[in-house]
Amino acid sequence: MGSVPGPPPRAGPVPGPALVYDGECGFCTASARRLAAAWRSTPARAVAWQELGDDGLARLGLTIADVQDAAWWVDESGHLSRGYAAVARSLVAAGGWRAWMGRALLVPPVSWGAAVTYRAVARRRHRLPGGTPACRV
């Protein structure tokens, strides 16, 4: 879980940095928008995986199964981070106190708790505010 090596830098549909999330899930969309609102000094953007389609996902080295299961962070070099690490790197991109929080989430033992919490929230996102049946993982 966490970071995985991504494809080499390339001209793709989402020049990094970007948070790729499930645009059919109201909870995911609201969370991604909240994170994106904090990115004042970075070119990062949030993009629903549905906007990318199969080809766009393939260029990033992702599949539909990957993005239905978790959010993904794509950095400037194409390196991918999954789940809690994607959220953490999104916070780092925001700068300020959020960056401190994001860095803390990436370091054990905090990262262990973050991974468990992310999986629990992802599994139950259809029950959270804004969640819909489309949110079931």
pLDDT > 70 fraction of the chain, expressed in percent and rounded: 82
49 burial type by CB count under 10 A (0-12 exposed, 13-18 middle, 19+ buried): buried
Q: pLDDT for 59-68, tens place per residue?
A: 999 999 999 9
| Lookup: tokens for 90 | 């999104």
Considering only 41-50, 66-75, 124-133, which range has the smallest mean pLDDT?
124-133
pTM here? Answer: 0.83
Q: Which of 33-42, 48-57, 102-111 has the highest mean pLDDT?
A: 102-111
Q: pLDDT for 11-31, tens place per residue?
A: 355 667 999 999 988 889 999
31 burial type by CB count under 10 A (0-12 exposed, 13-18 middle, 19+ buried): buried
Distance CA 20, CA 78 (A): 13
Q: Which of 84, 79, 116 is nearest to 101 (CA)?
A: 84
Domain ranges in the chain?
A: 3-131
